[in-house]
Amino acid sequence: MSQEKAVKFVNQLKWKQLVAVVAGVAIAGGVMAFTQDMSREAIAERIQPSMKVRVAGDEPQQQAAASGDRSGEQVYNQACAACHTGGVLGAPRKGVAEDWTERLPQGMAVLLEHSINGFNAMPPRGGCARCTDDEIEAAIEFMIADL
């Protein structure tokens, strides 16, 4: 009699454990499916092409604008800001008058010549090989506009 009871108890216990395990697997599976979905989204975002091809008829994008079309601000942000915002390697900072007091009297022609051909640690065209002379000049003007 008591043995029978014990067997019943064990059987019940197994059943409960089984239910618990099944529920646990179901929950874990759901969580995994969810996180997998999230990472799939994240991956899709990460593998997006960094440059999108412009098809005929598309609105021209500012970023993809042909050389020569960019404003001083755009060129500055792309090619000059890395050094000229914080004064990296002693670069004269944008909008900081004291950094330019000895440079401005040289005149724009010299500033432009130094920017195009390089000057000490200032790389030719700030490293922007496809920047036109006009774009470089516009970037300089943007840098010194609010002195």
Interface ranges with ligand HEC (CB under 6 A): 75, 79-80, 82-84, 88-92, 103, 106, 110-111, 114-115, 119-123, 125-128, 131, 136, 139-140
The smaller minimum CB distance to ligand HEC, of residues 33 and 88, is found at 88
Max Cα-Cα span within the chain: 109
Q: How far is the CB of 126 from ligand HEC (least distance, A)?
A: 3
Distance between CA 29 and CA 16 in Å, rounded?
20
Token pair 């004269």 in the structure block, residue: 92
Contact 140, 104 (CB under 8 A): no
Residue 77 is classified by DSSP as I
Q: How far is the CB of 71 from ligand HEC (least distance, A)?
A: 12
Residue 69 is classified by DSSP as -
Token pair 């774009």 in the structure block, residue: 135
The smaller minimum CB distance to ligand HEC, of residues 30 and 68, is found at 68
Q: How far is the CB of 69 from ligand HEC (least distance, A)?
A: 15
Q: Could you tell me which residues come within 8 angstroms of residue 139 by beta carbon, excluding any fewer than 6 positions away?
A: 72, 75, 76, 79, 80, 115, 126, 131
Residue nearest to ligand HEC as judged by C-beta position? 126
Q: How far is the CB of 26 from ligand HEC (least distance, A)?
A: 56
The smaller minimum CB distance to ligand HEC, of residues 30 and 90, is found at 90
The smaller minimum CB distance to ligand HEC, of residues 95 and 127, is found at 127
